[in-house]
Amino acid sequence: MGKRATAARTAFGPMVIVACEQYLPEPQRLIRDNLALRFLPPAVRLLTGACKWGFVRQALMNKAEKSAPGGWAGIACRKRYIDDKVSEAVAAGIDSVVVLGAGLDTLACRLVARADVHAYEVDLPSNIEYKQAGMRATYGRVPRGVALVPVDFETDDLGNALVKNGLRIEKATMFVWEAVTQYLTEEGVRKTLAFLSKAGAGSRMVFTYVRKDFLDGADFYGAQQIYKRFVAGRVWHFGLAPEKVRAFLSEYGWTERGQAGRSEFASRYVEPAGRHLPVFGIERCVYAEKL
Ligand SMILES: C[S@@+](CC[C@H](N)C(=O)[O-])C[C@H]1O[C@@H](n2cnc3c(N)ncnc32)[C@H](O)[C@@H]1O
């Protein structure tokens, strides 16, 4: 399988976690998403659906914890953090939401169903085709207000593609870039940020990154299995050091407003839900604004 195809397939795992969370009693869920099961392939949907039984859910969580310790809560919490930031942006009257590397995420469909915003989902052509088929099967068409935009961040012109699909770049926009930067080269990340530097004043962005010391093999954060699969397997390329994020973003006119990771997710989401789950330390979320 080519590198792009491998990256494209990583879109499934996060939504399995989100879908499984929906079978827990409401107050215990780390993330709420009534569409989570919608775009998973039939066989995966069947397996995930079996998670309504506690013993199947527990078996899946145990398996996930074994291969990626702290990954279950880490992924569910980053999605919750992003949902919270997008809800704040929509409440503040943002014009559009652009989901970069959307995978099977349901944010755009949930948003356009409840608010008067335009949503753009960007991903590799194979995932966009898959998503389009899934939306047609579910709704009969791509929902009004959602645009599906095929782009390879490494080689294509993201700005052109979005503008062609109607994005008004001068308006305040919310950008979501979740679990994508690590799959890109530094050049691909910088190319994307060069486009984001043109975003209108009042724009917001939430993105995730993998710690550079993990990618360098200096600290495994207890995640040796992930290292073996994604770093040694050359699937992940790009990482940042938390203290370097501010300067990196400022090169592109963005101001870091906050970061969240293991400890914030534990105290903000996991403990209040009464769950006893570890959160991995290799990935962090950044919230930034364009002044
Ligand atoms: C781990 S998935 C995350 C999906 C989604 N953001 C989520 O968190 O549920 C990584 C996503 O990045 C996309 N991606 C990776 N490399 C890309 C590239 N060069 N251009 C566009 N999308 C890319 C993949 O296709 C995939 O959908």
> What residue segments make up the domains of the chain, in order of their start?
3-290
> Given a cut of 90, is residue 149 above it in pLDDT?
yes
116: confidence class by pLDDT, cuts 50, 70, 90 = confident
* Centroid of ligand 1 to alpha carbon of 75 (angstroms): 14
DSSP-assigned states of every residue in 15-77 = HHHHHHHTTS-GGG-SS--TTTTTTS-HHHHHHHHGGGSHHHHHHHHHHHHHHSTTHHHHHHH
pLDDT tens digits for range 184-216: 999 999 999 999 999 999 999 999 999 999 999
> Which residues make Cβ contacts (< 8 Å) with residue 33, sequence separation at least 6?
18, 19, 21, 22, 79, 83, 106, 110
Any atom of ligand 1 within 6 Å of the Cβ of 121: no
Pairing assessment for the beta strands 118-123 and 146-150 based on DSSP bridges = parallel
1 has pLDDT over 90: no
Distance 116 CA to ligand 1 centre (A): 26
What pLDDT sits at residue 152?
Answer: 98
Q: Is 33 in the pocket of ligand 1 (CB under 6 A)?
A: no
152 lines ligand 1 (CB under 6 A): yes
Q: How far, in Å, is the centroid of ligand 1 from the Cα of 113?
A: 23
Q: Is the CB of 236 under 6 A from ligand 1?
A: no
Two tokens at 43?
């066989």
Nearest CA to ligand 1 atom 20: 152
**Average pLDDT, integer, range 264-287:** 98
pLDDT at 207: 98
Separation CA 173–CA 51 (nearest Å): 36
For residue 264, CA distances in Å to 42, 232, 281 come to 35, 29, 11
pLDDT at 104: 96
Distance from C-alpha of 81 to C-alpha of 270, rounded to nearest angstrom? 12
Specify the pLDDT at position 98. 97
CA distance 109 to 132: 12
Contact 102, 2 (CB under 8 A): no
What does the pLDDT read at residue 115?
84
> In 3D, which of 78, 266, 255, 95 has the Cα closest to residue 177?
78
Percentage of the residues of the chain whose pLDDT score is greater than 70: 100
Whether the pLDDT of residue 235 is over 80: the answer is: yes
Say how far apart CA 16 and CA 286 lie, in whole Å.
24
pLDDT, tens digit, 9 for 90 and up, residues 243-260: 999 999 999 999 999 999
8 CB under 6 A from ligand 1?
yes
At residue 253, the pLDDT reads 98
pLDDT confidence of 290, banded at 50, 70, 90?
very high
What pLDDT is attached to residue 112? 84
CATH class of 3-290: alpha beta
Residue-wise pLDDT tens digits, 155-183: 999 999 999 999 999 999 999 999 999 99
d(CA 45, CA 196): 35
pLDDT at 137: 94
Q: What is the residue-averaged pLDDT of the chain?
A: 96
